[in-house]
Amino acid sequence: MEYNVKFAHNIENRHFCVKRFPPNLMTLCPPLFWLDISPELFVIIPGWSILPFNLCITINRRCDTKGDSMNLAEKILAAHAGKTSVEPGQFLSVKVDLVMTTDATALISVQQFEKMGGRKVFDPQKVVFIMDHFTPCRNIESAEVVKKLRAFANEQKLVWYDVGQAGICHTLLPEQGLVLPGDVLVGGDSHTTTAGAVGAFATGMGSTDIASAMATGDTWMVVPPSIKFSYHGRLKEWVGGKDLILHTIGKIGVDGASYAAMEFGGEVIDSLSMDGRFTMANMAIEAGGKAGLFPVDEKTLQYVKDRAKKPFTPYASDPDAVYESRFDFEVSDLEPQVAFPHSPANSRPVQEFQNIEIDQAVIGSCTNGRLEDLRAAGRVLAGQKVHSRVRCIVVPGTREIYLDAVREGLVETFIEAGAVVSTPTCGPCPGGHMGVIGAGEKAISSTNRNFIGRMGSPQAEIYLANPAVAAASAVTGFITHPKEVAGS
């Protein structure tokens, strides 16, 4: 294969990347000088990381070494397309292990399924409907939608999660062992990428794509280029998966991984909890990623061991796997991150936010509604009172997490502090219910998007942060580092 023009760009001290461009982009990005080295050598050029200016180096290397080596995304897709080897840009018909959709988007899928002439879904055990967005139903319209979906699910004998069993879909699927390492999952919600934390290829699609997958059990996909993100060092107290991913999106932008599979690694990831990994994979879509994948390690196997209800095949990237680009982050000095309105890419250290008065703090969502998140918030809120001006809303992601939070005394901590604890739902995150905000109001939120109008009024402001920052801000009434409330 003739390719491999590499482009490197010094983003800032200790952050660098190597990017592969197709040859026709050479004219757009002429080389400063030529080197004939591997990208692995390239990133350790002495002095490289302290250059005070942006630098381009173009490396032209005949890359015929790809051979059969593949990265994690390529291996999963190849296995589901009946191929021994695939490469980025290739069109595939991919068999899916699970099709998931929710009350927010499923009704159009059902209508399209019927228009397609669909009679029976391809496998009722592999089609899951989860009522999470506007449930318990927020109004008559949503009640009518769920009624129709309930009837369809009954008739088709699908896997059905309603109020009482349901949780936020992306939190529920891995928790219930419905998505496993090596699986292909397509979901009618963009945050379907979350399941990449268990080493599955999981991606979001629209209602018509979901309808087609429900009917046929397969879907068309283009093999995405993969980008490798490696994190080095040791995380500070109060810093976790949310801060890593906000920092990453801040560096690469909301389309920095467009159409690509993001693969996460490095020693920081090795020691990151499963909950932290779910948070990162969840927000891959906020950089435009098609999927966000983590290597399957002991932690993953421990997590899935008692949950898996079927056999599974974990895959791993080959040591010489090819990536479109690589980003290396040294994160020992990373502070808790806050993304200011109206983009998740607007991330800055929490200390840079002075005197931002907030009206609401939200702790929950498919991004940060897991037990570790509630524990972090509980650690901050224990013995404290929510500021009289602030509404603090805690939303456990699933029934199991809720029950654990009750058993650990976290729910008591929250209520004593003056927070409210909601039933599992997407609730305020997409502006559905349970804490919609009005014009001129400011919310700090452990959710994933701070777009205009996302949480209610288009005149409101949303600041994204980790659950401990949201909890600390709830106590002081201003955006606050958790150590100021709970110590370090």
Partner 1 sequence: MINGRVHRFGDNIDTDAIVPVHAANLVDPAALGKHCMENIDPDFINRVKPGDIIVASRNFGCGSSREIAPWSIKGAGISCVIAETFARIFFRNAINIALPVMVCPEAAASTEEGDRLEVDMVSGRICNITKDRVFDAAPYPEFVQELISCGGLVAYTRKRIT
226 binds partner 1 (CB under 8 A): no
Please give the DSSP secondary-structure letter assigned to residue 357. B
Nearest distance, CB of residue 335 and partner 1, angstroms = 25
- 438 binding partner 1? (CB under 8 A): no
117 contributes a contact to partner 1 by CB under 8 A: yes
* Shortest distance (Å) from residue 283 CB to partner 1: 12
How many other C-beta atoms can be found within 10 angstroms of the C-beta atom of residue 271?
A: 12
Candidates 54-62, 150-158, 368-376, 424-432: pick the segment binding partner 1 (CB under 8 A).
Answer: 424-432
Q: Is 32 in the site for partner 1 (CB under 8 A)?
A: no
Q: Provide, rounded to whole angstroms, the least separation between the CB of residue 264 and partner 1.
A: 19
Burial tier of 66 (Cβ tally within 10 Å: 0-12, 13-18, 19+): middle
21: phi then psi, degrees, rounded to nearest 5: -115, 150
| Of 126, 170, 290, 391, the one binding partner 1 by CB under 8 A | 290
State yes or no: residue 427 binds partner 1 (CB under 8 A).
no
Query: Which residues neighbour 475 within 8 Å (Cβ) at sequence distance 6 or greater?
Result: 380, 381, 384, 385, 386, 387, 417, 485
Q: Is 225 in the site for partner 1 (CB under 8 A)?
A: no
Total number of residues that touch partner 1 (CB under 8 A)? 52
| Minimum distance, C-beta of residue 174 to partner 1, in the bound complex (Å) | 19
Within residues 176-195, the interface with partner 1 by CB under 8 A covers: 187-190, 192
- 136 binds partner 1 per the rule CB under 8 A: no
Does 288 participate in binding partner 1 (rule CB under 8 A)?
Answer: yes
| Alpha carbon separation from 475 to 37, 203, 380, 418 (Å, rounded) | 53, 37, 9, 10
| 3 part of the interface to partner 1, by CB under 8 A | no
Task: Choose the stretch contacting partner 1; rule: CB under 8 A; options: 15-23, 65-73, 235-243, 452-460.
Answer: 452-460
- Residue 220 binds partner 1 (CB under 8 A): yes
Q: Give the shortest CB-29-to-partner 1 separation in angstroms.
A: 15
Which of 471, 432, 455 has the alpha carbon at shortest distance from 136?
432
Amino acid, res. 284 = A
Amino acid at 397: G
CB of 130 to partner 1, least distance (A): 14
In 3D space, the residue among 170, 476, 257, 211 whose CA is nearest the CA of residue 353 turns out to be 476
Q: Interaction with partner 1 in 53-112: which residues (CB under 8 A)?
A: 91, 104-105, 107-108, 111-112
Rg from Cα positions in the chain: 22
Instruction: Residue 312: name the closest of 180, 200, 196 by CA.
Output: 180
Does residue number 25 form part of the binding site for partner 1 (CB under 8 A)? no
Query: Could you give the count of Cα atoms lying within 13 Å of 112 in the half-sphere of its Cβ?
Result: 15
